[in-house]
Amino acid sequence: MNSMWTVMSFTMRNKIRNKSFIITTVILGIVLVVGANVPSFINKFASGGGPTKVGYVAGEQGSIVQGLEAYFGKQEKPDVSLVPVEASGSAEDRTAALKQAIADKKIKGYLLFADNPEAGFPDVTYYSKKMLDTGTSEALQTALRTVKTEQAVRDAKLTKEQLSKLFDPVKLEAVQISDEATGKTAEEQGTAIGLTYAILILLFMSVMITGQLIATEITSEKSSRVMEIIVTSVSPLKQMFGKVIGTFLVGLIQLAVLVGAAVANLMLPQNVESLKSFGIRLDTINPKMIVFAVFFYLAGFFLYAMLFAAVGSIVSRTEDLGQAVMPVTMLSLAGFYIALFSLSHPDSPLVVVCSYIPFFSPFIMFLRIGLANPAWWEIALSVGILLASVLILGWLSAKIYRAGVLMYGKRPSVKDLMKAMKAFNV
């Protein structure tokens, strides 16, 4: 046991003192801090730009323009500000004057009206140089629809009470049904999606980065023949578990630093308010989600770490490592992408089936817990299969590692490994 702790502590010291580890942690920390402040930056830039200035020919469609100005004037932060442009003459002359106003940066775009007697309301076209100016177009479309409705109501000569009832907004609240006493509100659903997305990315990054580190270190020791010296002092099994646990603890320290920096920035008042505007509230996070996030993170890490260690032990040259770990990498990629592209369909048959496959369940069952409503027995079954798989793969990886670390030359086949395992009595 002491020798395993020695390997573990040596692995930790070696990686923590590594300059590349320190530089990577600092860079990732800066990226996460900037990313945590992105919602605040978006709100500042969005509010700092002010309303879009939209021009129109002064004197045209006076009643409609007045209705539009009244509509946007009622908004606390209007999306559009109407600017009259003096123009006369033919249609081409008026259009030229409006384009000149854009060139002079007085307006961002302009409206042109075309009579449509059949509809009882003119056809309106919004022109702008900005490609796909959907935000302004949608704001204008909503405003024009409101003006048209108000004109129709006035023509119908409704009373003030009837008008008030007609224009009172309809309150609609979305709540996700669950087995708990209360369902998830829109804010809780938004927060659950954000948390699920973050945990999926963290798990995938940890699996890929730390798994590759474990496999690379084992293969480099074999290729330099250092392994032949190490096995005389430490048994192969203690080596493997010492490296896996040591790398895991280093990764956990790095993760704690990065997540701590991100959470600390997200908890700043301006970021909390910005997240609320996107429908995300950190105070609505269900503690159960945190518990499952930790469990699936640990189980997923050790499941793939054992596989990477076993693969690294059967490769003699670091040049061959990339090809050897490709199947394990593809498994993790498949689980990650199935979960990522199923965020909007967490109850699809593919997701339900994959949540019981141990290579995918760390990603997909956590997705279902966060965004769907799986029964307790479904969670228990998935967790049971995953834990059993971790134990079985750990035992099998240990046997492969013990036989593979002293096998040199070309990468051994399954038949060669079976013979070696029998020869070493593992």
Query: pLDDT tens, 326-343?
Result: 888 888 888 888 888 888
Beta strands at 109-114 and 123-128: parallel, antiparallel or unpaired: antiparallel
Is the pLDDT at 36 greater than 80? The verdict is no
Out of 133, 166, 199, a domain closes at: 166
Assigned token pair, 202: 């963290």
Share of the chain above pLDDT 90, in %: 4
Same domain, yes or no: 64 and 193: no
> Is the residue at 120 inside a domain?
yes
- Out of 6-10, 15-19, 127-131, which region has the weakest mean confidence (pLDDT)? 127-131
C-alpha–C-alpha distance, residues 143 and 75, integer Å: 11
Asked if residue 343 lies in contact with residue 364, where contact means CB atoms within 8 angstroms, the answer is: no
Assigned token pair, 351: 């997701």
C-alpha–C-alpha distance, residues 46 and 363, integer Å: 35
Assigned token pair, 26: 């600092």
Same domain, yes or no: 154 and 193: no
pLDDT for 424 equals: 47
> Is the residue at 116 inside a domain?
yes
Winning range, highest mean pLDDT, from 34-48, 82-96, 279-293: 82-96
Is the pLDDT at 53 greater than 50? The verdict is yes
Same domain, yes or no: 287 and 403: yes
The one-letter code for the residue type at 425 is N
pLDDT for 275 equals: 65
C-alpha–C-alpha distance, residues 217 and 300, integer Å: 20
Q: Which residues of 364-376 are buried (b: 16+ CB within 10 A; e: fewer)?
A: bbbbbbbbbbbee
Phi, psi at residue 57, to the nearest 5°? -70, 120
Assigned token pair, 157: 């000569």
Out of 136, 166, 196, a domain closes at: 166
The one-letter code for the residue type at 179 is D
CATH of the domain at 75: 3.40.190
Asked if residue 362 lies in contact with residue 335, where contact means CB atoms within 8 angstroms, the answer is: yes
Share of the chain above pLDDT 70, in %: 73
Asked if residue 77 lies in contact with residue 70, where contact means CB atoms within 8 angstroms, the answer is: no
The string of pLDDT tens digits covering residues 207-240 is 887 787 778 777 776 666 565 566 566 776 777 7
Assigned token pair, 148: 């048209």
Is the pLDDT at 278 greater than 60? The verdict is no
Q: Is 202 left (phi over 0), alpha (psi -120 to 50) or beta?
A: alpha
> Is the residue at 44 inside a domain?
no
Same domain, yes or no: 221 and 340: yes
Same domain, yes or no: 135 and 233: no
Helix, strand, or coil (residue 315) = coil
C-alpha–C-alpha distance, residues 383 and 405, integer Å: 32
- Among 325, 395, 332, CA closest to 358: 332
> Is the residue at 37 inside a domain?
no
Instruction: Output the pTM of the full model.
Output: 0.64
Indicate the helix (H) or strand (E) that contains 202. helix 186-223
Helices 19-36, 236-266: crossing angle, 10 deg rounding: 30
pLDDT for 418 equals: 59
Phi, psi at residue 60, to the nearest 5°? -85, 140
C-alpha–C-alpha distance, residues 230 and 235, integer Å: 8
pLDDT for 195 equals: 76
Domain that holds residue 277: 186-423
The string of pLDDT tens digits covering residues 70-129 is 888 887 778 788 888 888 778 888 888 888 888 888 888 888 888 877 777 888 888 887
Determine the average pLDDT of the residues in 358-387.
88
Residue 313 has, within 13 A of its CA and on its CB side, a CA count of 28
C-alpha–C-alpha distance, residues 403 and 392, integer Å: 17
Q: Rounded to an integer, what is the distance from CA 81 to the centroid of its chain?
A: 35
- According to DSSP, the residues that pair with 54 across neighbouring strands are 82, 109
C-alpha–C-alpha distance, residues 104 and 327, integer Å: 60
287 pLDDT band (50/70/90 cuts)? confident
Same domain, yes or no: 327 and 415: yes
